[in-house]
Amino acid sequence: MKKEIETCYCQSGLVQSECCGPFLQGSKFPGTAEQLMRSRYSAYVTQSISYLKKTLWPEQQSQFDRHEVENWANQAKWLGLEILRVEKGSLFDTSGIVEFKAHYKISGRHEIHHEVSRFQRGSDGKWYYVQNVTGQ
């Protein structure tokens, strides 16, 4: 019997085990800002709230509102992710910008979360989500 191959939640076209899967499981860490962005979207889809906190810039983790994030992740039906622009954030960079649109449905309405995000590599070498810099 053929095994069903599941493509990743982030719509990269890759299978989960070669995309966000290992990041969410903690067996691998994203090498680029875009990989972290994609895995954070997948964390919303799979309601991996701890992952969303863990990948937030360490100094901001104390302000993380678990309840609010959980509510949003639960209530939204996630429809897809579009990466619009990536600036730096490669394997060799220490910071990066990713512009994206996340499509979701909430209370029967199709909504789009359009954000320009800033990512930064920590002193531990891992990528973190720093903040929404849309309009800055």
Residue numbers at the binding site for Zn ion (CB under 5 A): 8, 10, 12, 19-20, 38
Smallest separation (angstroms) from Zn ion to the CB of 10: 3
Smallest separation (angstroms) from Zn ion to the CB of 78: 12
C-alpha 63: how far from chain center = 18
Identify which of residues 4 and 68 has a Cβ nearer to Zn ion in the complex: 4
Identify which of residues 9 and 128 has a Cβ nearer to Zn ion in the complex: 9
Identify which of residues 38 and 118 has a Cβ nearer to Zn ion in the complex: 38
The residues with which 104 forms a beta bridge, in sequence order, are: 78, 111
* Residue whose C-alpha is closest to residue 119's, from 94, 91, 84: 94
Smallest separation (angstroms) from Zn ion to the CB of 122: 21
Residue 67's alpha-carbon distances to 10, 23, 53, 105, in angstroms, are 23, 23, 12, 19
